[in-house]
Structure 1
Amino acid sequence: MHNFEIGDKVSVLDEDIDGVVLKIKDTSITIETIDGFVMTYFVNELIKINNINHLNNVFSSKSLTSVLNDKAEKKKRYFVKEKKNKKDEFVLEVDLHIEKLVKNFRGLSNFEILNIQMDNAKGQLEFAIRKRMPKLVFIHGVGEGVLKSELEFLFSKYDGITFKEASYQKYGVGATEVYIKQSLNR
């Protein structure tokens, strides 16, 4: 059963036409459009637009926000605890570029620069061993390979130390990854 009455303001569902109900006969309703045309539609093609108070009663005293919150689907929250493997552990990165080690290196000879770099490398390596760090990375750069050769000589003096080129994706060329095998009786 339709609930339209003569005088109701209506809108046509599939067209941009508004009007006022003039006549109701069975399932057809005759309206006068805002432009003054008289047209006839079926009941299911029209919607009543004049009874705003009726719409307000549908929502009662609830605010739009609370209605939307009621409609919102409760989403479950999932937390995935990341399993840390050895690759995710902290890795000490030691940059041996001279400008990272001293404020002013102008006037230093290549021999003095190499000694500063090697002293720093040895200190960091021994620190990592004391702190039982499993891995560290020395960033030495490319250059002529003198520093890299000296580092490899240094690493070879220690038992339980292995080394290889560091990840190209992460460090590019010019870095060495050092692994420290820790003894259990320390």
Structure 2
Amino acid sequence: MVFKIGDHVMVLDENMSGVVKNIVGTSISIETEDGFLLDFKSDELIKDTSKSILKKARISNTAISEKEQPTRKQQKRIKAKDRFEPTMEVDLHINQLVKSSRGMSNHDMLTLQLDTARHKLDWAISKRIQKIVFIHGVGEGVLKIELEYLFGRYNNIKFYDANYQKYGLGATEVYVYQNV
């Protein structure tokens, strides 16, 4: 395939596209949509005809829209219940923390889960994240009791059961007060 500078191209076997910036023999440099210059061989690229069609369509749409009266821009509506959704979830199930719990005692697993919870909570506080959900599961309630003891040692947080519809009884939501 013959390429020229300014062509829109896509990379085969990768989710990447860009504009041809330089051609040296069979090596072609493209600038990605993120602004990176990358080199590929010509047989790794194909022309992206949809970009040129879109460009022509944009030009005609711009001409049409200039003639029309400007309309008010629609903002994306955020539902009230989505506004209060937690921004961070931490799954403390042991199979999410290690590849295999084989050879670990119950004490080792509980210690790992609590250390992970403490680390994630400290990280969230340092990054000023207000809401965190710790998913601990239902089980016998040992992890939940230990988490409540851990959260009770912090002055700037309150904790309560997370949304029942989403998590059931197996999660605790933590709210971090920012101005303490």
**One fold, TM greater than 0.5?**
yes
Query: 1:175: which partner in 2?
Result: 171
Cα deviation code 1:46-99 (max 9, x no counterpart): xxxxxxxxxxxxxxxxxxxxxxxxxxxx9x886234358783566110000000
**In structure 1, the residue corresponding to 2:116 is in which secondary structure?**
helix
* 106 and 120 in structure 1: CA distance in 2 versus 1, 3 angstrom threshold: same
C-alpha separation in 2, matches of 1:144 and 1:90: 25
Match of residue 77, structure 2, among 78, 82, 89: 82
Query: 1:116: which partner in 2?
Result: 112
Match of residue 137, structure 2, among 138, 141, 155: 141
C-alpha separation in 1, matches of 2:72 and 2:179: 43
Q: Percent identity?
A: 55
Query: What amino acid does structure 2 have at the position aligned with 1:154?
Result: L
**In structure 2, the residue corresponding to 1:163 is in which secondary structure?**
strand
**Counterparts in 2 of 1:153-168, with a 5 A limit?**
153-168=149-164
C-alpha separation in 2, matches of 1:158 and 1:88: 22
How many residue pairs get aligned? The number is 110
Query: 2:100: which partner in 1?
Result: 104
Coordinate RMSD, CA, aligned: 2.4
* 179 and 90 in structure 1: CA distance in 2 versus 1, 3 angstrom threshold: closer
Q: Which 5+ residue runs of structure 1 have no aligned equivalent?
A: 1-73
Q: Which 5+ residue runs of structure 2 have no aligned equivalent?
A: 1-67
Largest Rg, 1 or 2: 1
Moved over 6 A (4+): none
Cα deviation code 1:124-181 (max 9, x no counterpart): 0000100001110000001111000000000000011101100011112210000000
Query: 1:150: which partner in 2?
Result: 146
Query: What amino acid does structure 2 have at the position aligned with 1:161?
Result: I
TM-score by length of 2: 0.55
* 78 and 132 in structure 1: CA distance in 2 versus 1, 3 angstrom threshold: closer
C-alpha separation in 1, matches of 2:97 and 2:105: 15
C-alpha separation in 2, matches of 1:90 and 1:178: 9
Query: What amino acid does structure 1 have at the position aligned with 2:87?
Result: V
C-alpha separation in 1, matches of 2:128 and 2:145: 25
**In structure 2, the residue corresponding to 1:176 is in which secondary structure?**
strand
TM-score by length of 1: 0.54
C-alpha separation in 2, matches of 1:90 and 1:116: 23
Query: What amino acid does structure 1 have at the position aligned with 2:100?
Result: N
Query: 2:124: which partner in 1?
Result: 128
**In structure 1, the residue corresponding to 2:103 is in which secondary structure?**
coil
